[in-house]
Amino acid sequence: MTNSVRSICERCGACCASYRVDFHPSELAKIAGGAGVPVAMAIPLTPKLMRMKGTDDVAPRCIALQGEIGRQVGCCIYEHRPSPCHEFNPWAALGMVDAACDRARLRHGLRPLSELQKSELQAISKPA
């Protein structure tokens, strides 16, 4: 993730409090040689599927999310987050805003990135 994308995400966090995060058990720290999701932060769904705690609640919020959505957030396991989190990006192919990012932002009362002017995007792209 580039610094500008990371800074946008660090001022948002809406995706971490909007979607379920399911992943394969091989991404758990105990199986991945310590470089994975801590077992205490996940719940088993099936023998081949884990879910981050908090992401299946009525008002989802990943257990690893810290801070205030829309202001300043961070992931306490950022370097070891599961693959769906690695793959989620506010920018889809061709540099366009990803619709899932816009939906998550709307759920939390934040303006969708697709509606922001270039100058506004540049302002929130600067490191916090």
Q: Tokens standing for 109?
A: 């009362």
* Percent of the chain residues past pLDDT 90, beyond the cut: 66
Higher pLDDT, 26 or 29: 26
Comparing 7-21, 49-63, 91-105, the range with the smallest average pLDDT is 91-105
Average pLDDT over the chain reads 88
Average pLDDT over residues 82-105: 87
pTM of the model: 0.83
Beta 65-68 vs 72-75: how paired, if at all? antiparallel
Report pLDDT for 20.
97
